[in-house]
């Protein structure tokens, strides 16, 4: 797919730069990793990501029981927030929590199941899982602060895999904007540790703006409706829905 003109202009003004984040290089039980995951839970709340994702999923989750797949689900705390907001509306939801190093605590998984949701935790690379798992176009996939880790051919493979598996996809990512960069440099004031402060700046440089994800979405015979907008002060929202 040819990138939209405003996506090309956005890249020219401030090109994406994807570099390694420190949290991904730490063992899950490292004290600094534990601290950073607590920071991320705090920041997700401050940025309003649970509410942003819930509203976006409301627009595409039109059948029940619902099958959700979270890419890069990590410790499942965001998923639990979503479940607490929507378990009454989406009863008996089945969730696949996918992460290369899932860190969901037993208590978090128990809380999800206590809300009536079934949870399968899968430790796998997202690209490998999408390439080798049987396509299921009934799933609704979503991701939070995950897609910005991908660029070029790997981003194309990720989105192609999602398009092959899902009837809808929602992701909330960092926005590549000056206000977001400023905010990322002030996280010391919230008590965030060095890992979080480093990764926040890196994430903004790897974030999205304009219609960059729309431009990277695969061409296919299926018709997709896509919406891509700023979300809140610091974030970028992408929603893709397969048309009947």
Q: In the predicted model, what is the mean pLDDT of residues 96-112?
A: 95
The fold of 19-242 is: Rossmann fold (3.40.50)
User: Parallel, antiparallel, or unpaired: how do β-strands 166-174 and 118-123 relate?
Assistant: unpaired
Q: What are phi and psi of 86, to 5 degrees?
A: -130, 5
Residue 6: which pLDDT band, with cuts at 50, 70 and 90? low
Calculate what percentage of the chain has a pLDDT beyond 90.
86
Long-range contacts of 221-226 (CB under 8 A, 24+ apart): 222/163, 224/163
**CA nearest to 128, candidates 168, 97, 163, 98:** 98
pLDDT band at residue 13, thresholds of 50, 70 and 90? confident
The pLDDT, as a whole number, for residue 9 is: 52
User: In the predicted model, is pLDDT for residue 63 greater than 80?
Assistant: no
Identify the residue with better confidence: 12 or 13: 13
Asked if pLDDT for residue 102 goes beyond 70, the answer is: yes
pLDDT value, residue 11? 53
Mean pLDDT of 172-193: 96
Sequence-distant (6+) residues with CB within 8 A of 24 are 149
42 Cβ contact list (under 8 Å, min separation 6): 190, 192
Instruction: Flag whether pLDDT at 1 surpasses 50.
Output: no
CA distance 105 to 102: 9
Integer Cα distance of 51 and 135 in angstroms: 29
């Amino acid at each position: 797919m040819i990138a939209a003109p405003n996506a090309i202009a956005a890249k020219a003004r401030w090109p994406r730069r994807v570099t390694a984040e420190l949290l991904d290089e730490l063992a899950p039980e490292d004290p600094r990793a534990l601290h950073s995951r607590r920071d991320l839970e705090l920041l997700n709340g401050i940025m309003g990501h649970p509410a942003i994702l819930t509203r976006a999923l409301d627009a595409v989750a039109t059948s029940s029981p619902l099958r959700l797949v979270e890419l890069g689900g990590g410790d499942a705390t965001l998923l639990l927030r979503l479940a607490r907001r929507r378990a009454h509306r989406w009863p008996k939801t089945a969730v696949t929590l996918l992460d290369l190093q899932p860190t969901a605590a037993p208590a978090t998984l128990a809380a999800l199941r206590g809300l009536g949701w079934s949870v399968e935790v899968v430790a796998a690379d997202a690209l490998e899982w999408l390439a080798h798992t049987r396509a299921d176009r009934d799933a609704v996939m979503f991701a939070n602060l995950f897609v910005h880790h991908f660029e070029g051919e790997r981003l194309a493979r990720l989105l192609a895999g999602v398009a092959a598996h899902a009837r809808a996809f929602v992701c909330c990512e960092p926005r590549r904007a000056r206000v977001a960069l400023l905010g990322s440099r002030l996280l010391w004031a919230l008590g965030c540790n060095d890992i979080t402060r480093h990764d926040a700046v890196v994430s903004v440089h790897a974030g999205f703006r304009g219609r960059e994800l729309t431009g990277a979405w695969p061409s296919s015979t299926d018709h997709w409706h896509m919406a891509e907008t700023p979300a809140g002060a610091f974030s970028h929202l992408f929603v893709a829905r397969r048309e009947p």
